[in-house]
Structures are given as structure tokens and as C-alpha cells.
């Protein structure tokens, strides 16, 4: 039989290990970061001090004035808290030297070691008009930086001690604040599982309470997942049915094209979206010639072949952005979304009429003569709404049909005055 460790013992041990490890790692990281930051600051500061001395001692170095150089060196060295500083001329001879006065506290040997580690020497040349007249070398006071570092380390040690004490206190309160609520939750979950009459085998866990809780929660989770899968399947089925119904409501079952209602909706959207563009919209009203003769004389199947072929040819002769629809019976409508003008629309309509005029060779019905009369109307010249545009194109189509099969006619306000758009006042 597997003996599982109580949760409180496991959490106490884990809390202490993680807490102390995190505090130790954070303290070490902050100490290293402080040392690196301090070292960078010291290097930059010493370099700036050396440059300041080189600027202040330019005249003294040029004329070899040791007193002036010493005065500048002592002034800046005392102000910046330097340990050592010296100015050498171009031949390497010491022109001036500064040594900080000895102070009580740390031994000189310790100060020298600190200066070597935290405050290395920095130097700067004395250059006047591109000529080197000497060199400045400075050494910082390590005692100042050691004092700062000790304060930082003492603060971090105090913080680490406080965190460690807090972690230790928190680990003792685990049993009252964490274990008992988890046991109550496990009992509640078990009761809910038994009432619902479902069970599930969970993988074993090292901790006894977590093992029990995992069994109960996995049982409930299995039920939830099963019900969600059933709901998702039902939703998918309903979505598919709705999409099918929507397609049937707005598309023609024979040709697969949008029907009249769908065409009016899409055409209205195109007309509303126009404005500021480079093209205009044009509507082609297509009516099949001699469809009744073919449908009555050769049968409804031949008429269906004719309509389906007309739909295919209309799609092939237009662009994806154009809207093609079967309005009803043997009538089709095409909304050209972007044409340059009446001549361009008429050219496209002639191309469509030529495509529709090709005979149809069918294995069951033989050769079926095909042609269509097309009326063309432009927006907004011949109508600003879908209905007005369709009425204008329909009127033009009847004039095209009067000319004979396969003709194309552009809407003419003089030929159809009742359909002419109103003239703005």
C-alpha cells in the first residue's frame, strides 16, 4: 500500500525551501548588481575627475608651473575625496602630487586593497591644440565606497532576515488556512459526484489530499466536458441548418445565383458605398430570347439547361466583384461595380451578349439555340436607387428585344421619358 505524505507537511517543506532559495537568490543578485553599479559609477566618476583636472591644469602643464598645477590638483582632489592624484609633464616627470590626509578608522592596508578593487586608477591626457603636454592620474578613496557597500549589504541582510521570518511564520499557518479548506472542498466535490451518480478514475498523486481532490474534480470535469461536447455538436448542427436555410432563402436552386431579394440587398450596398471612387456602377438587365419557345417545345429539362448555361456564362464573363443574380423566370441582372462610363458599360454588355449567343451543345438535348437581349443603365445617371436602376435597364432591354435577338440597348431618357430621372432644380 502506498503511503502518501500529508499535505501540510509537504507544503511546509516546499514553502521553506522555495522561500529561502528565492530570498537567497534575490539577495545575491542585488548584491552583485550593487557592486557592478558602484564599480561603473566609480570608473565613470574617476574618469570625469581626471578630465576636470586636465582642463584646470592646461596652463600649468604648458608653462611647467608646478605650484599652479599643485593648487589645481589639491583643490579638485579635496573636493572630490581622492586618495591619490598626480600630474606628469610630457617627459613623464611629476609636476604635482596630491595625497589625501590620513584618517582614523580602517587600516591603510585595507584602504589600499579597497582602492585597488573598487576605485582603480583613471587617467586623462593634457592636450592643447592637438599637442600632449602631460598626463593626469587619479585614484579614488576606497573607504567611501566600502562604507556605502556595507550599508547596502546590511540593509539586504535585514530584508532577507525579515522575509525568512515571514516565510517561517506562514508555513506554520498552512494547516489552518489551506489544508482544512481543501479537505472541505474535497468532501463537497465527493458529495456532488455521488449525488449525480458519476465517477472517474484520476491518476495518482504524491499528496493524499490532492490525490482525493483530483479524483473528485476529474469526475465532475468529465461530465462537464461530455455535456459541452453535446452542446457543441447541437450548435454545429443548428448552424449548418441555418446556413442551409439562409442559402435557400436568398439563392436560386437551379442556377445557384442570388435571387432577386439578395440582388437588391447587395446592389443597394454597392450603390451606397459609391462616392469618391474612380468608377461608376452599371446594371445589365438580361432577358433570354425564345426561352418560352424552347421550354414549351423541347421540354422543361431543356429550358433548365438553357438557364443554367446562361448563369455559368454570366459568371465567366464578369468579375468577382460584380453581382450576378437570377431575377425570375428567364431574367437575369448583372451589377457592374466599376465602369468608366456608358461606352465601357456598353462594351461589356456586348461581350456578355456575344457569350450568351453561342449555341449550347448538350448530350441529351442536342444543340440549343441561345441568345439574350440586354438593357444597360448607369448609376447615378439613370437612377440613384436599385429599383430605379432596374426599371431603367428593364426599359432599355425591351427596346433591345424589339431590335431582334442578342441586341444591346443603353437607357435613353428620350425613348423612355416616364423613367427619366428628375432634373435637379
Considering the domain architecture, whether residues 412 and 330 belong to the same structural domain is answered as: yes
Task: Kindly list the distances between the CA atom of residue 309 and the CA atoms of 241, 256, 300, 406, in Å, as whole numbers in the listed order.
Answer: 29, 11, 14, 16
Q: Which of 252, 330, 394, 416 is catalytic?
A: 330
Residue 135 and residue 95: Cα distance in Å, rounded?
10
Considering the domain architecture, whether residues 277 and 151 belong to the same structural domain is answered as: no
Domain membership flag for residue 253 = no
CATH for 396: 3.30.70.270
Do 388 and 381 touch, CB atoms closer than 8 A?
no
Considering the domain architecture, whether residues 127 and 200 belong to the same structural domain is answered as: no
What is the number of other CB atoms lying within 10 angstroms of the CB of residue 78? 13
Domain membership flag for residue 245 = no
The predicted structure's pLDDT at residue 16: 67
CATH for 51: 3.30.450.20
Query: Is 330 tagged catalytic?
Result: yes
Considering the domain architecture, whether residues 289 and 358 belong to the same structural domain is answered as: yes
Final residue before a domain boundary, out of 121, 152, 171: 171
3-state SS string for the chain = CCCCECHHHHHHHHHHHHHHHHHHHHHHHHHHHHHHHHHHHHHHHHHHHHHHHHHHCHHHHHHCCHHHHHHHHHHHHHHHCEEEEEEEECCCCEEEEEECCCCCCCCHHHHHHHHHHHCCCEEEEEEECCEEEEEEEEEECHHHHHHHHHHHHHHHHHHHHHHHHHHHHHHHCHHHHHHHHHHHHHHHHHHHHHHHCCCCCCCCCCEHHHHHHHHHHHHHHHHHHHHHHHHHHHHHHHHHHHHHHHHHHHECCCCCCECHHHHHHHHHHHHHHCCCCCCEEEEEEEEECCHHHHHHHHCHHHHHHHHHHHHHHHHHHCCCCCEEEEEECCEEEEEEEEECCHHHHHHHHHHHHHHHCCCEEECCCEEECCCEEEEEEEECCCCCCHHHHHHHHHHHHHHHHHHCCCCEEECCCCCCHHHCCCCCC
Considering the domain architecture, whether residues 192 and 269 belong to the same structural domain is answered as: no
The predicted structure's pLDDT at residue 257: 92
Considering the domain architecture, whether residues 185 and 150 belong to the same structural domain is answered as: no
User: How many distinct structural domains can be found in the chain?
Assistant: 3
- CA geometry: angle 381, 382, 383, nearest 5 deg: 100
Domain membership flag for residue 45 = yes
Considering the domain architecture, whether residues 76 and 94 belong to the same structural domain is answered as: yes
- pLDDT values of the chain reduced to their tens digit, one per residue, 425 residues: 677 666 666 766 776 677 777 777 877 787 788 778 777 877 788 888 888 888 888 888 888 888 888 888 888 888 887 878 898 888 888 888 988 887 654 445 554 555 456 556 788 898 888 888 889 898 877 666 667 677 777 877 787 777 767 766 766 666 656 666 676 556 656 665 676 544 445 557 666 766 677 677 666 667 766 776 777 777 777 776 666 566 566 688 888 899 988 999 999 888 887 654 557 899 999 999 989 988 888 899 999 999 999 999 999 999 988 999 999 889 999 999 889 899 999 999 999 999 999 999 988 888 888 899 999 999 888 888 899 999 999 999 999 998 888 899 999 888 776 554 544 33
The predicted structure's pLDDT at residue 24: 77
Domain membership flag for residue 243 = no
Domain span at 296: 260-419
Considering the domain architecture, whether residues 137 and 221 belong to the same structural domain is answered as: no
Considering the domain architecture, whether residues 12 and 160 belong to the same structural domain is answered as: yes
Task: Kindly list the distances between the CA atom of residue 42 and the CA atoms of 27, 35, 106, 117, 321, in Å, as whole numbers in the listed order.
Answer: 22, 10, 20, 11, 70
Domain membership flag for residue 317 = yes
Final residue before a domain boundary, out of 151, 171, 191: 171
Considering the domain architecture, whether residues 406 and 289 belong to the same structural domain is answered as: yes
Domain membership flag for residue 126 = yes
Domain membership flag for residue 139 = yes
Considering the domain architecture, whether residues 167 and 182 belong to the same structural domain is answered as: no
The predicted structure's pLDDT at residue 421: 52
Considering the domain architecture, whether residues 292 and 356 belong to the same structural domain is answered as: yes
Final residue before a domain boundary, out of 134, 154, 171: 171
Domain membership flag for residue 244 = no
Amino acid at each position: 500500500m502506498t503511503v502518501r505524505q500529508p499535505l501540510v507537511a509537504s507544503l511546509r517543506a516546499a514553502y521553506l525551501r522555495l522561500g529561502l532559495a528565492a530570498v537567497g537568490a534575490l539577495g545575491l543578485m542585488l548584491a552583485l548588481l550593487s557592486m557592478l553599479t558602484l564599480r561603473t559609477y566609480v570608473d565613470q566618476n574617476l574618469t570625469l575627475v581626471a578630465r576636470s583636472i586636465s582642463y584646470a591644469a592646461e596652463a600649468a602643464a604648458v608653462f611647467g608651473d608646478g605650484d599652479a598645477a599643485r593648487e589645481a590638483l589639491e583643490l579638485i582632489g579635496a573636493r572630490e575625496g581622492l586618495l591619490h592624484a598626480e600630474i606628469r609633464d610630457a617627459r613623464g616627470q611629476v609636476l604635482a602630487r596630491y595625497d589625501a590626509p590620513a584618517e582614523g578608522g580602517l587600516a591603510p592596508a585595507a584602504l589600499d586593497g579597497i582602492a585597488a578593487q573598487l576605485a582603480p586608477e583613471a587617467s586623462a591626457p593634457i592636450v592643447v591644440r592637438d599637442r600632449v603636454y602631460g598626463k593626469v592620474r587619479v585614484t579614488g578613496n576606497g573607504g567611501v565606497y566600502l562604507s556605502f557597500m556595507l550599508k547596502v549589504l546590511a540593509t539586504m541582510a535585514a530584508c532577507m532576515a525579515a522575509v525568512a521570518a515571514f516565510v517561517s511564520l506562514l508555513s506554520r499557518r498552512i494547516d489552518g488556512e489551506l489544508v482544512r479548506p481543501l479537505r472541505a472542498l474535497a468532501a463537497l466535490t465527493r458529495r456532488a459526484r455521488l449525488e449525480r451518480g458519476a465517477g472517474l478514475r484520476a491518476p495518482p498523486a504524491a499528496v493524499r489530499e490532492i490525490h482525493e481532490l483530483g479524483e473528485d474534480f476529474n469526475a465532475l470535469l468529465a461530465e462537464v466536458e461530455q455535456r459541452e461536447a453535446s452542446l457543441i455538436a447541437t450548435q454545429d448542427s443548428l448552424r449548418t441548418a441555418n446556413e442551409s436555410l439562409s442559402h435557400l432563402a436568398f439563392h436560386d436552386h437551379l442556377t445557384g445565383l442570388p435571387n432577386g431579394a439578395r440582388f437588391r440587398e447587395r446592389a443597394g450596398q454597392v450603390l451606397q458605398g459609391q462616392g469618391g471612387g474612380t468608377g461608376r456602377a452599371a446594371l445589365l438587365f438580361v432577358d433570354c430570347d425564345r426561352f418560352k419557345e424552347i421550354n414549351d417545345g423541347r421540354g422543361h429539362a431543356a429550358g433548365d439547361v438553357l438557364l443554367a448555361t446562361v448563369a455559368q456564362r454570366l459568371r465567366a464573363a464578369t468579375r468577382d466583384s460584380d453581382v450576378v443574380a437570377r431575377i425570375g423566370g428567364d431574367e437575369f441582372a448583372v451589377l457592374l461595380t466599376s465602369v468608366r462610363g456608358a461606352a465601357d458599360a456598353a462594351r461589356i454588355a456586348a461581350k456578355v451578349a456575344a457569350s450568351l449567343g453561342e449555341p449550347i451543345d448538350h448530350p441529351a438535348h442536342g444543340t440549343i439555340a441561345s441568345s439574350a437581349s440586354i438593357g444597360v443603365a448607369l448609376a447615378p445617371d439613370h437612377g440613384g436607387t436599385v429599383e430605379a436602376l432596374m426599371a431603367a435597364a428593364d426599359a432599355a432591354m425591351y427596346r433591345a428585344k424589339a431590335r431582334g435577338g442578342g441586341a444591346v440597348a443603353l437607357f435613353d431618357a428620350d425613348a423612355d421619358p416616364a423613367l427619366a430621372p428628375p432634373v435637379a432644380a
